[in-house]
Structure 1
Amino acid sequence: MCLKKMQYHQKILRPHHPSIDLFSLSFIYHHRFGFHVDSWVRSAVTLLRARELHLDFFIHRDYHQTDETFHHKYDFPFATLRNGDLALLRLTRVDLTLPASMASMGLVSLSSMYLDEVYLTDQNVCDLISGCPNLEELELQNCWGMVKLKKLVLGYIYDMESCNTIEIDCPSLCSVRFDNSSFIKFVLNYAPALVEFSVSIVRISKEDYEPWTRIVRLLEQAPFVKQLRLQNWWCKLLTSKDPFPKSFMLHNLNHLKLQTRYTQCDLVGLAALLELCPNLENMMLEYVDKNVEDGILPEEFSNKLDGFRMPSLKQVTMKSYSGTPDEVNFVHLLKKHGVVLEKIVIHHTKVGEKSFSPVVLNKIPCKV
């Protein structure tokens, strides 16, 4: 009876009191405490309207491996969050029970989530993201149960005050793609299995060179990349104050897809990139109009084309070819330097309803 009166009294007073910023629990958990923790969590979320909730039941790894409470984990009632205004959730060493209707929960207030020592399946991760449409930060530490992450796509994420660094530490990662992603700092800690690397920034302007450069510099930590897709802003990196070290090479790269023009700056950038790829076999070039001026090419690079060491490619494919003087000159350079061993494939730009069959230039002779 007293409990009911207390709950009623709290409901009367709650509108006159601001919500709390943080509700935190940290102690040695045992199953017999489950009922109490459930009650505390519900009160923190629904009555106190906490903005942050921290539950930490991890003491020390050696302790949990030797003590009888090793298998005692709190089963966090995720469905309770739908009745609150939680913005940040931090859980350490709990079991996570997600409602079957997770996708329809619509936890719009939840923007940050940190999970440590939590068992998660791939479906759990998908459900978490689908149920939290405004989630900006998701950090997983010492979690298990998931199939090892092999493909990562980051799309349409730009600098934010609360999230300006991205750190990738995925030993099994095979493919990574950055679509219009811009952070102050990118870190790729360890990716020995990474073989596919893609960068695309469509908001092309002078300001976009810097985020593009920050992403591309991750290649220093990914020496085993075999397939690379990016824009040809390589001349900017070539002339930057912090270029790649002279020892940097992409020895394993065999397939390159490049969005480019064929101006002097673009050709110098392309030649500089090819010099880093001694074993490249196939290159696909797609014309793109950057709508920005290249700027003045430094004098030391203006006549550098003949000095670069280019690989001998099996095939070069040119997409969106319209026969401009720059494009014709580029084909002439390929022939002059004997860059292509087998063939050049040219796909003309489609005009109206009319399309053209690819033009294949076979067996380009190598000239000394």
Structure 2
Amino acid sequence: MAKTIRRSSASTTTNFCDLPESVLLHILSFLPIKDAVTTSSLSKAWRYLWAHSPTLRFHQPLITPDPTAIDGWIFSSFVHQVLHRHHQSNLQSLHIQFDYANQALAPHIDTWILIAARNNIRELHLDLSGDWRDDHNSHNPRYNLPLSFLRSVPISVLKISRCNLVPAGGAPFRFLRTLFLSDVELTDETVSGLIDGCQELENLTLESCYGIKHLKISSMRLKDLAIKFYRGKNSLVEIDAPNLASFCCMHYIADEFRFKDMLSLVNAFVHFEHEAECFHSWRNIVKFLSHVRNLTTWNWWGEERYTGMFFEDVFPGSLPQTGEVLEKLFPGSLPQLKTGEFLEKFFPGSLPRLTTSDFFEKFFPGCLPSLKVFKISAFRGTENELELVKFLLKHGMALEEVIFDPNDKYGFTDQPPPEFLAERFQEVRAFPRYSSHTKILLL
């Protein structure tokens, strides 16, 4: 498609429809397919342009707003029509999201995947949970995805939700770099086989997957790992990923965690719900993260209703001083920690012992010599927050910034009046500092 420049005495402009075809196709790739098809009415130049789009996005609520509409047949028929009218040789990315409630549609899904495989697709997103992640679809059938369909496909991104995986012999994903599995039943052997067969895998997310007892992840190339929402009894997590740079664990409850050779880890996010059984998993993970540069964690140390229960559970028969507990939780004093982000839940003002400098001396022995940035999210101006900051300012040899963020994006606590926070902030500014170059910021 030729590019036409229309000139005027005042300026030079380019008509939107006169942009190069490659640019228009790139724009179309971001649209849901129903919107992309409607561009046919814009002009003759647009009439069949959508059929060359490298990306097709089928999102059921935008096509059939009623998730129960004839058990998905309307949606399935629409997908068939579009795929058969599309110039499939241009297809690089296929996104399908709908509520799989009728097992008779399985052959249709087979056909869609085979079309994608035949055209050497690069990305496949198959989400059969729909937009209605409620109890209504918990009894729906599950589609069995034959991995053999993708055996020789140079696919680099595979995202699957609410399917059963049918393993294939050999290594079907030689080029896969990103794997996302959500609400998928997995066995230990299936996980090991997938990882062993994905020699180029760099990003792995396991979310709400079940059936795993011993999650073993061993990979030389893995850079980003997220494990989320799992409860297992007699379960073990074992991770050996020397090039892992980012790790996320959200409410993944296991009896034991083992981490090996993770010295490349830069960013870690660890979050568990406020339940007694979660503390064991949280503690077992965090104690391995003493070398991480950026650590974001939620916990209950100052949560009065939980503290005694957790410590009594971890140290039966005695309730040691909080500082001793934290020394055991953080062996090595987190010497490499560069950035710490702590929520109001970290020190919510309910534990009087936190206001003593002796506590912080035990909590941060060695004064965290590498700590450069310290951030308190959901800042509420409590005495515990101020005492902690006073200690860090006094001893922070490398501390460059202390950041107070009163915004509570998690919605757990009420925000105090701005005037109160401003007064507390001024108090902090008057605290003595190890370095005069340390900045104190209120967002």
- The alignment's TM-score, normalised by the length of structure 1, stands at 0.48
Structure number with the higher strand fraction is: 1
Return the index of the structure with the highest Cα Rg.
1
Specify which structure has the bigger relative contact order, considering alpha-carbon pairs within 8 angstroms and separated by 6 or more residues. Answer: 1
- The alignment's TM-score, normalised by the length of structure 2, stands at 0.41
